[in-house]
Amino acid sequence: MVETSPAVLLKHLFRISHLMAGQLDFRSAIQSVATEIAQILPHDHLDVCILRLNGQFHTAYESGIETDWGKQPHAPIANSPIRALLLGEVDHILTKDACIDPQFQFAGGFYKPIHDHSLRARIHVPMMVHGEVIGAFSASMQRAGAYDAEDVRIARYIADLLSPYFFALRAAEQAQHSAIIEAAARAREEGLRLGALKLTEALESERQRIGMDLHDQTLADLTRLARHLERLPHDSAAPAEAFDPVIRGLHRCMQDLRQIIEQAKPSVLQLFGFAHAVEHYLDRAIRDSGQRIDWTLNDESHGAFDALEPAISVALYRIAQEAINNAVIHAEAGRITVQLTAAPAQISLAVSDDGCGIAKKRTRIGSGIDNMKTRARLISARCTLTAGIGGAGTSASIVLPLAAARQEVAE
């Protein structure tokens, strides 16, 4: 206990108030006034613990001895050694020796710092604003019995002085947090809007491509076959072999239509699963290109891709198709590897090649990369491009957090 006259006490309280002005965060605030507080309330350890707005957690900001209390940003009030004070059940706590005081020791209580640092004499008083407990002001000495009722009175003065400042800091922190959440939500909404717009443009382009394929290829073939068939009835002596070109043409048209339909709707994906569908597409893309490209598909996902909702699975399949097309058509690669992996919190798909690299390919496949990133963003996945096999070429990696996948489904 320090003997102080009312005038001296008032002078120190004014100085504490002056030091608090302009402080912008909790830790610097308590540390800025600790020396001045020591003039009227000696201490080895000082802390202010502030309740979070949900009322279930608190955060301690310390000066002097640093303890594990200050290392827990959101500590449960239920485990606090001063929970009775924080819950408003008592109006102060004063102990001569907290190391042996049973009120600080209970099942689940986090009182280890008391023993680690011999914080024996302790004072705890509530910090209140508008009749509501917003936290606690605490002072500790390693010497047992160092505090008495007069020190409790002084601690109350200090707590009453600090409370509005810390209340304002908490309100500012909450406002900043709300602003960040709102900004993130707006950015996500705008990103989804732009992503949907780009995807719509890509789908319209795909629709036009399909229409051109049907017009320039399939319809032209069918028109030629129809004219051939129109001539045959006028030739009564037409041998059976005359129908062979028509039959071959029809088979070719059917094959072309199957390819167009498969590109529009990935039936293999629904019938045989994600890994088999990607493997089938990779094999066919390389075979149709006429290039000599070695390929490997490593599936370490344990069926995680097949457990996804169909919309997300199809989106990932489309991304895989785009990445495979980029590697086969533009990479000038000798090897392509597809890797499917799963972890408890996420799944990932990577298409890697040992080709010419993204810098050389960018001018030709920019829209393809944009489509991949757009599709990834719309399902809350991350799409990144890095060096490929052996440091050469390109690796397109798509990582989907499973929590995001569940959220997309819920929405």
Q: Check residues 70 and 216 and name the one with the higher pLDDT.
A: 70
Confidence of residue 107 (pLDDT cuts 50, 70, 90): confident
Whether 269 shows a pLDDT value over 60: the answer reads yes
pTM: predicted TM-score of the whole model, two decimal places: 0.49
In the predicted model, is pLDDT for residue 169 greater than 70?
Answer: yes
Q: Using 50, 70 and 90 to split pLDDT, how confident is the model at 378?
A: confident
| Lookup result for tokens 């004070």 | 85
3-state SS string for the chain: CCCCCHHHHHHHHHHHHHHHCCCCCHHHHHHHHHHHHHCCCCCCEEEEEEECCCCCEEEEEEEECCCHHHHCCCEEHHHCCCHHHHCCCCCCEEECCCCCCHHHCCCCCCCHHHHHCCCCEEEEEEEEECCEEEEEEEEEECCCCCCCHHHHHHHHHHHHHHHHHHHHHHHHHHHHHHHHHHHHHHHHHHHHHHHHHHHHHHHHHHHHHHHHHHHHHHHHHHHHHHHHHHHHHHCCCCCHHHHHHHHHHHHHHHHHHHHHHHHHCCHHHHHHCHHHHHHHHHHHHHHHHCCCCEEEEEEECCCCHHHCCHHHHHHHHHHHHHHHHHHHHHCCCCEEEEEEEECCCEEEEEEEECCCCHHHHHHHHHHHHHHHHHHHHHCCCEEEEEECHHHCCEEEEEEEEHHHHHHHHHC
pLDDT tens-digit series, residues 141-158: 999 999 999 999 999 999
Greater confidence (17 vs 403) lies with 17
pLDDT tens column, 7-51: 888 888 888 888 888 778 888 889 999 999 999 999 999 999 999
**The predicted structure's pLDDT at residue 311:** 80
Is residue 121 over pLDDT 70?
yes
Structure confidence by residue, pLDDT tens digits, 280-326: 889 988 888 888 999 999 999 999 999 988 888 888 988 998 899 88
Q: pLDDT per residue over 193-244, tens digit each?
A: 776 667 666 666 666 667 666 666 666 667 766 776 766 666 556 666 766 7
Residue 364 pLDDT: 44
